[in-house]
């Protein structure tokens, strides 16, 4: 670890590295003044538009590195009482400021997306992965890099909020504040792009085989994974686990690791399963399946978001026919239901735990007839509450699956219809 005296020196070097205008240098090497071409920006988007995709990707990679390298080095080698997260944030912010306001260009720089991505890749890799996926989906579906750059900040910020809530450490709150500030900066730097998008004259990515291929790959993967996860979790894992545990619990000779206390075999008041071994099977299955539901809904939401973004963008670029509208609406409806099911999940889990706790108060007593008069009604009410919340969750999941299936069917019909359309060959004159 380097001593703390190197901290201010490192911040200055980080700014100077971030201020290097790779876009201007590479374009100048090709004999092009990028400041007077296209949008006049030194970023990868404008370089790619003027010089070609490969040069745009080169500038993007270099801009990413000048954000990632100082951030990572500071976290690894600088001794600082602030902690690694805040140290990385300060060095990453310094690099981003260098890119946004470079001293070499009279403080007129790029928009900070690529350099910010490099910083975020070091600090918050999982939220950044969601942001990159969103960016690619928007470019593939809508063909606007600026819109994609704005949209990708939302999953970055929202996912970091979830992380900070579930793991409320000082480092995570520092990262949340940094993602919020970075999001605001990117939106401010894109004000002119927002105006052009609103007016309908924003520069778009040229339609090419590359982006068509990316679009088809993303659609195939998202729809396939969406359908596969729905069938696997809803039709295989859920019923399979419950049936398996019920057979194990009700058998006359259960395995040694699954004891059946005598209290589970006695009769209970109406509304409580008798024998209670069925309840034991249900609880065991719930313990196994419950941790899988957040993963399941995460897959559903991500796949639904990708498919909806691309279908919506396609509808904007090719506004013809009712089938594309139905395809987009069905998929969007399923996506919203997936979000609703994910948000409803804590309610189902709380009701499941409450049902178990209040029911246990009954069968753990030696004499059920001497129970407090409120115990049995409370337990029965808790069981009704869980049944209701569980049925609502199941209904939303089924409707989500229906909307997703309709979207896939409409997509297959639209794709087949387009492939059967005759190719228009220009007549010779």
Helices 292-317 and 322-363, axial angle in degrees (round to 10): 170
Residue 248 predicted with pLDDT over 90: no
Residue 139 predicted with pLDDT over 70: yes
29-38, 76-85, 216-225: least confident range: 76-85
- Same domain for 353 and 281, yes or no, is yes
428 — pLDDT class (breaks 50, 70, 90) = very low
Decide if 126 contacts 159 (C-beta within 8 A).
Answer: yes
- State which of 148, 180, 205 marks the end of a domain: 205
Residue with tokens 């997509």: 411
Euclidean distance between the first and final Cα of the chain, in Å? 76
151 — pLDDT class (breaks 50, 70, 90) = very high
Structural domain boundaries, residue 389: 213-420
- The structural domain count of the chain equals 3
Question: What separation in angstroms does the CA of 296 have from each of 123, 206, 217, 315, 316?
Answer: 26, 36, 21, 28, 30
Determine the pLDDT at residue 368: 53
Residue 309 predicted with pLDDT over 50: yes
Residue with tokens 């700014």: 15
Residue 338 predicted with pLDDT over 60: yes
| Residue 11 CB partners (closer than 8 Å, separation 6+) | 90, 91, 94
CA distance 305 to 331: 9
| Residue 226 CB partners (closer than 8 Å, separation 6+) | 299, 300, 303, 304, 307, 404
- Same domain for 332 and 375, yes or no, is yes
Determine the pLDDT at residue 276: 67
- Same domain for 266 and 399, yes or no, is yes
Question: What separation in angstroms does the CA of 120 have from each of 64, 92, 110, 185, 393?
Answer: 10, 8, 17, 14, 35
Determine the pLDDT at residue 124: 92
How does DSSP classify residue 171? H
Decide if 161 contacts 173 (C-beta within 8 A).
Answer: no
- Same domain for 192 and 289, yes or no, is no
Give a yes or no: residue 425 inside a domain. no
Residues 189-215: tens digit of each pLDDT: 889 889 988 988 888 888 888 888 999
Determine the pLDDT at residue 203: 82
Residue 234 predicted with pLDDT over 80: yes
pTM strictly above 0.85: no
- Same domain for 295 and 188, yes or no, is no
Q: Mean pLDDT across the stretch 291-318?
A: 92
- Same domain for 247 and 396, yes or no, is yes
Determine the pLDDT at residue 372: 59
- State which of 77, 95, 123 marks the end of a domain: 123
Question: What separation in angstroms does the CA of 297 have from each of 23, 132, 334, 345?
Answer: 41, 20, 12, 9
Determine the pLDDT at residue 271: 64
CA distance 97 to 87: 15
- Same domain for 101 and 239, yes or no, is no
Q: Mean pLDDT across the stretch 99-107?
A: 87
Percent share of the chain, pLDDT over 70: 89
- Same domain for 249 and 166, yes or no, is no
Decide if 215 contacts 141 (C-beta within 8 A).
Answer: yes
- Same domain for 352 and 380, yes or no, is yes
Q: Mean pLDDT across the stretch 311-318?
A: 88
Give a yes or no: residue 428 inside a domain. no
3-state secondary structure at position 78: strand
Residue with tokens 């129970």: 371
Determine the pLDDT at residue 78: 77
Give a yes or no: residue 427 inside a domain. no
Give a yes or no: residue 380 inside a domain. yes
CA distance 160 to 124: 8
Residue with tokens 């049902």: 355
- Same domain for 294 and 196, yes or no, is no
Higher pLDDT, 421 or 73: 73
- Same domain for 115 and 254, yes or no, is no
- Same domain for 295 and 405, yes or no, is yes
Residue 257 predicted with pLDDT over 80: no
70-79, 90-99, 173-182, 392-401: least confident range: 70-79
Decide if 38 contacts 49 (C-beta within 8 A).
Answer: yes
292-306, 367-381, 390-404: least confident range: 367-381
């Amino acid at each position: 670890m380097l001593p703390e005296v190197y901290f201010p020196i490192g911040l200055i070097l980080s700014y100077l590295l971030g201020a290097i205008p790779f876009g201007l240098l590479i374009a100048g090497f090709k004999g092009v003044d990028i400041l007077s071409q296209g949008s006049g920006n030194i970023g990868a988007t404008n370089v790619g538009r003027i010089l070609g995709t490969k040069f745009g990707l080169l500038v993007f990679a270099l801009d990413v590195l000048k954000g990632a390298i100082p951030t990572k080095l500071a976290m690894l080698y600088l001794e600082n009482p602030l902690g690694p997260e805040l140290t990385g944030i300060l060095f990453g912010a310094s690099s981003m400021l260098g890119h946004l306001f470079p001293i070499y260009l009279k403080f007129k720089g790029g928009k900070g997306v690529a350099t910010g991505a490099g910083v975020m890749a070091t600090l918050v890799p999982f939220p950044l992965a969601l942001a990159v996926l969103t960016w690619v989906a928007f470019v593939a579906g809508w063909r606007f890099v600026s819109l994609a750059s704005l949209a990708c900040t939302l999953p970055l910020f929202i996912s970091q909020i979830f992380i900070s809530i579930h793991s409320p450490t000082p480092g995570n709150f520092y990262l949340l504040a940094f993602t919020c500030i970075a999001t605001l900066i990117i939106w401010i730097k894109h004000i002119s792009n927002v105006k052009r998008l609103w007016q309908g004259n924003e520069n778009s990515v040229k339609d090419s085989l590359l982006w068509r291929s990316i679009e088809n790959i993303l659609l195939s993967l998202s729809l396939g994974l969406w359908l596969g996860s729905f069938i696997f979790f809803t039709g295989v894992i859920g019923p399979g686990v419950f049936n398996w545990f019920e057979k194990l619990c009700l058998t006359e000779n259960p395995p040694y690791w699954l004891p059946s206390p005598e209290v589970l075999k006695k009769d209970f008041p109406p509304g409580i399963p008798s024998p209670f071994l069925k309840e034991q099977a249900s609880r065991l299955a719930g313990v196994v399946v419950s941790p899988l539901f957040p993963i399941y809904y995460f897959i559903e939401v991500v796949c639904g978001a990708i498919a909806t973004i691309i279908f919506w963008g396609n509808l904007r670029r090719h506004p013809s026919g009712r089938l594309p509208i139905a395809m987009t609406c069905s998929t969007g409806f399923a996506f919203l239901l997936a979000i609703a099911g994910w948000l409803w999940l804590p309610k189902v889990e709380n009701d499941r735990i409450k049902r178990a706790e209040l029911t246990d108060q009954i069968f753990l007593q030696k004499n059920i007839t001497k129970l407090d008069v409120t115990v049995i009604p409370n337990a029965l009410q808790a069981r009704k509450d869980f049944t209701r919340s569980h049925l609502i969750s199941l209904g939303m999941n089924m409707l989500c699956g229906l909307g997703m299936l309709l979207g896939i069917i409409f997509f297959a019909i639209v794709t087949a219809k387009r492939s059967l359309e005759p190719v228009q060959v220009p007549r010779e004159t």
